[in-house]
Amino acid sequence: MRIVFVGPPGAGKGTQAQRLKDYLGIVHLSTGDMLREAHQAGTDLGREAASYFQVGKLVPDKVVVGVVAERLSKADCADGCLFDGFPRTVAQAESLDAMLANQGMPLDLVVAIEIPHEEVYQRLASRGRPDDNVATVQQRLGQFHALTEPLAEYYERRGILRRVDGTGSPEQVFERIKRVIELTKQPSN
Protein backbone atom coordinates (compact mmCIF):
# COMPACT_ATOMS: atom_id res chain seq x y z
CA MET A 1 0.00 0.00 0.00
CA ARG A 2 0.97 3.60 -0.52
CA ILE A 3 -0.37 5.85 2.21
CA VAL A 4 -0.03 9.56 2.99
CA PHE A 5 -0.35 11.03 6.50
CA VAL A 6 -1.38 14.65 6.61
CA GLY A 7 -2.08 16.78 9.66
CA PRO A 8 -1.03 19.89 11.54
CA PRO A 9 2.23 19.93 13.51
CA GLY A 10 1.78 17.87 16.65
CA ALA A 11 -1.07 15.77 15.22
CA GLY A 12 0.94 12.62 15.87
CA LYS A 13 1.92 11.79 12.30
CA GLY A 14 5.38 10.56 13.29
CA THR A 15 4.16 8.51 16.25
CA GLN A 16 1.41 6.85 14.24
CA ALA A 17 3.66 6.35 11.22
CA GLN A 18 6.13 4.37 13.36
CA ARG A 19 3.37 2.05 14.46
CA LEU A 20 1.79 1.69 11.06
CA LYS A 21 5.05 0.93 9.29
CA ASP A 22 5.62 -1.97 11.71
CA TYR A 23 2.02 -3.12 11.34
CA LEU A 24 2.10 -3.10 7.53
CA GLY A 25 5.81 -3.78 7.06
CA ILE A 26 6.29 -0.86 4.67
CA VAL A 27 8.91 1.87 4.40
CA HIS A 28 8.35 5.04 6.46
CA LEU A 29 9.32 8.18 4.61
CA SER A 30 9.31 11.31 6.81
CA THR A 31 10.37 14.46 5.00
CA GLY A 32 10.84 16.24 8.35
CA ASP A 33 13.32 13.53 9.47
CA MET A 34 15.06 13.54 6.10
CA LEU A 35 15.50 17.32 6.14
CA ARG A 36 16.77 17.31 9.74
CA GLU A 37 19.21 14.51 8.86
CA ALA A 38 20.49 16.49 5.87
CA HIS A 39 21.00 19.48 8.18
CA GLN A 40 22.88 17.38 10.74
CA ALA A 41 25.05 15.95 7.98
CA GLY A 42 25.94 19.51 7.03
CA THR A 43 25.03 19.27 3.34
CA ASP A 44 24.14 22.34 1.27
CA LEU A 45 20.61 21.01 0.93
CA GLY A 46 20.41 20.56 4.70
CA ARG A 47 21.58 24.12 5.29
CA GLU A 48 19.06 25.49 2.85
CA ALA A 49 16.24 23.43 4.37
CA ALA A 50 17.16 24.52 7.91
CA SER A 51 16.87 28.19 6.98
CA TYR A 52 13.16 27.46 6.47
CA PHE A 53 12.27 24.84 9.07
CA GLN A 54 14.01 26.70 11.88
CA VAL A 55 11.57 29.58 11.43
CA GLY A 56 8.52 27.40 10.84
CA LYS A 57 8.26 27.91 7.09
CA LEU A 58 7.75 25.15 4.59
CA VAL A 59 10.88 24.17 2.72
CA PRO A 60 10.48 25.02 -1.02
CA ASP A 61 8.63 22.39 -3.04
CA LYS A 62 11.55 21.84 -5.38
CA VAL A 63 13.91 20.93 -2.55
CA VAL A 64 11.48 18.55 -0.86
CA VAL A 65 10.34 16.92 -4.09
CA GLY A 66 13.97 16.26 -5.01
CA VAL A 67 14.61 14.54 -1.69
CA VAL A 68 11.49 12.41 -1.99
CA ALA A 69 12.14 11.45 -5.61
CA GLU A 70 15.60 10.19 -4.70
CA ARG A 71 14.29 8.15 -1.78
CA LEU A 72 11.38 6.77 -3.78
CA SER A 73 13.67 5.44 -6.46
CA LYS A 74 15.26 2.99 -3.99
CA ALA A 75 14.23 -0.64 -4.26
CA ASP A 76 12.74 -0.90 -0.75
CA CYS A 77 9.90 1.48 -1.71
CA ALA A 78 8.60 -0.84 -4.40
CA ASP A 79 6.36 -2.83 -2.04
CA GLY A 80 4.74 0.09 -0.31
CA CYS A 81 5.46 3.32 1.39
CA LEU A 82 4.10 5.53 4.12
CA PHE A 83 4.57 9.24 3.43
CA ASP A 84 4.68 11.20 6.68
CA GLY A 85 4.54 14.97 6.21
CA PHE A 86 4.63 14.84 2.43
CA PRO A 87 2.95 16.19 0.37
CA ARG A 88 2.28 19.45 2.19
CA THR A 89 1.23 21.61 -0.75
CA VAL A 90 -0.93 20.97 -3.79
CA ALA A 91 2.16 21.37 -5.99
CA GLN A 92 3.89 18.61 -3.98
CA ALA A 93 0.80 16.41 -4.33
CA GLU A 94 0.90 16.88 -8.09
CA SER A 95 4.59 15.99 -8.14
CA LEU A 96 3.91 12.89 -6.07
CA ASP A 97 1.15 11.86 -8.47
CA ALA A 98 3.56 12.21 -11.36
CA MET A 99 6.32 10.25 -9.60
CA LEU A 100 3.95 7.43 -8.65
CA ALA A 101 2.34 7.31 -12.09
CA ASN A 102 5.81 7.02 -13.57
CA GLN A 103 6.50 3.94 -11.51
CA GLY A 104 3.00 2.52 -11.98
CA MET A 105 2.24 2.81 -8.27
CA PRO A 106 -1.16 4.21 -7.29
CA LEU A 107 -1.75 6.06 -4.04
CA ASP A 108 -4.23 4.04 -1.98
CA LEU A 109 -5.11 6.20 0.95
CA VAL A 110 -4.64 9.64 2.53
CA VAL A 111 -5.17 9.76 6.28
CA ALA A 112 -5.89 13.24 7.65
CA ILE A 113 -5.16 13.24 11.39
CA GLU A 114 -7.21 15.98 13.01
CA ILE A 115 -6.67 17.69 16.36
CA PRO A 116 -7.91 21.00 17.80
CA HIS A 117 -5.47 23.91 17.72
CA GLU A 118 -5.27 24.30 21.48
CA GLU A 119 -3.94 20.79 21.64
CA VAL A 120 -1.19 21.51 19.11
CA TYR A 121 0.40 23.98 21.53
CA GLN A 122 0.11 21.67 24.52
CA ARG A 123 1.60 18.72 22.68
CA LEU A 124 4.49 20.61 21.11
CA ALA A 125 5.36 22.36 24.38
CA SER A 126 6.07 18.96 25.92
CA ARG A 127 7.97 17.59 22.90
CA GLY A 128 10.78 20.15 22.96
CA ARG A 129 12.23 19.97 19.45
CA PRO A 130 14.14 23.20 18.60
CA ASP A 131 11.37 24.30 16.20
CA ASP A 132 8.63 23.72 18.81
CA ASN A 133 8.69 27.21 20.37
CA VAL A 134 5.47 29.28 20.35
CA ALA A 135 6.44 31.68 17.55
CA THR A 136 7.54 28.88 15.24
CA VAL A 137 4.50 26.77 16.00
CA GLN A 138 2.25 29.73 15.16
CA GLN A 139 4.05 30.10 11.88
CA ARG A 140 3.79 26.35 11.15
CA LEU A 141 0.07 26.36 11.89
CA GLY A 142 -0.36 29.33 9.55
CA GLN A 143 1.50 27.49 6.81
CA PHE A 144 -0.62 24.41 7.44
CA HIS A 145 -3.85 26.39 6.96
CA ALA A 146 -2.71 28.26 3.92
CA LEU A 147 -0.84 25.55 2.05
CA THR A 148 -1.57 22.07 3.42
CA GLU A 149 -5.28 22.13 4.27
CA PRO A 150 -6.28 22.53 0.60
CA LEU A 151 -4.84 19.03 0.10
CA ALA A 152 -7.85 17.54 1.88
CA GLU A 153 -10.12 18.74 -0.90
CA TYR A 154 -7.61 17.61 -3.55
CA TYR A 155 -7.70 14.05 -2.23
CA GLU A 156 -11.35 14.11 -1.24
CA ARG A 157 -12.26 14.65 -4.89
CA ARG A 158 -10.24 11.55 -5.70
CA GLY A 159 -12.17 9.61 -3.06
CA ILE A 160 -9.08 8.47 -1.15
CA LEU A 161 -9.21 10.85 1.84
CA ARG A 162 -10.13 9.48 5.27
CA ARG A 163 -10.32 11.75 8.31
CA VAL A 164 -9.23 10.34 11.64
CA ASP A 165 -9.76 11.90 15.06
CA GLY A 166 -6.25 12.45 16.45
CA THR A 167 -7.29 13.14 20.05
CA GLY A 168 -6.92 10.61 22.84
CA SER A 169 -4.06 8.21 23.53
CA PRO A 170 -1.66 7.07 20.79
CA GLU A 171 -3.21 3.59 21.14
CA GLN A 172 -6.72 4.93 20.56
CA VAL A 173 -5.63 6.90 17.52
CA PHE A 174 -3.79 3.88 16.13
CA GLU A 175 -6.92 1.74 16.48
CA ARG A 176 -8.85 4.31 14.44
CA ILE A 177 -6.15 4.32 11.77
CA LYS A 178 -6.06 0.52 11.61
CA ARG A 179 -9.81 0.49 11.06
CA VAL A 180 -9.45 2.85 8.10
CA ILE A 181 -6.61 0.74 6.69
CA GLU A 182 -8.59 -2.47 6.92
CA LEU A 183 -11.58 -0.85 5.21
CA THR A 184 -9.32 0.30 2.41
CA LYS A 185 -7.87 -3.18 1.98
CA GLN A 186 -11.34 -4.74 1.90
CA PRO A 187 -13.78 -2.13 0.60
CA SER A 188 -16.70 -4.54 0.85
CA ASN A 189 -16.56 -4.63 4.68
Distances (CA, A) of 96 to 11, 69, 117: 22, 8, 28
Nearer to ligand ADP, 144 or 188 (CB): 144
Nearer to ligand ADP, 114 or 186 (CB): 114
If phi > 0 it is left, if psi is from -120 to 50 it is alpha, else beta; for residue 129 that is beta
Nearest approach in angstroms of CB 7 to ligand ADP is 7
Exposed / middle / buried, residue 153 (Cβ in 10 Å: 0-12, 13-18, 19+)? exposed
Query: 7 with 114: CB under 8 angstroms?
Result: yes
Question: Does 86 help bind ligand ADP (rule: CB under 6 A)?
Answer: yes
Question: Does 95 help bind ligand ADP (rule: CB under 6 A)?
Answer: no
Question: Does 9 help bind ligand ADP (rule: CB under 6 A)?
Answer: yes
Nearer to ligand ADP, 5 or 174 (CB): 5
Residue 39: count of CB within 10 angstroms of its CB: 18
- Using CB under 6 A as the binding rule, the residues of this chain from 14 to 33 that contact ligand ADP are 31-32
Residues that bind ligand ADP (CB under 6 A): 9-10, 13, 31-32, 35, 52-53, 56-59, 64, 85-88, 92, 140
